[in-house]
Amino acid sequence: MSEDNLSPRPVQDSHSVMSELMMPHMANNHGNVFGGVILSLVDRVGAVAATRHARQPCVTVAMDRVVFHEPIHLGELVTAKASVNFVGRTSMEVGVRVEAENMITGQRRHTNSCHVTYVAVDGNGRPVPVPKVTPETDGEMRRYERAEARRTRRLEELKSERRS
Q: Spelled out in words, what is the top-level CATH class assigned to the domain 3-163?
A: alpha beta
Nearest to 80 by CA among 49, 126, 118, 105: 49
- Cα separation of 145 and 127, whole Å? 24
Distance CA 81, CA 34 (A): 19
Mention every residue, 6+ apart, whose C-beta is less than 8 A from residue 136: 10, 11, 12
Residue-wise pLDDT for 96-147, tens only, equals 999 999 999 999 999 999 999 999 999 999 999 999 999 999 999 999 999 9
Which stretch of 25-34, 71-80, 150-159 has the lowest confidence by average pLDDT? Answer: 150-159
SS3 17: strand
Domains of the chain, residue spans: 3-163
CA angle in degrees (0–180, nearest 5) for 153-155-161: 100
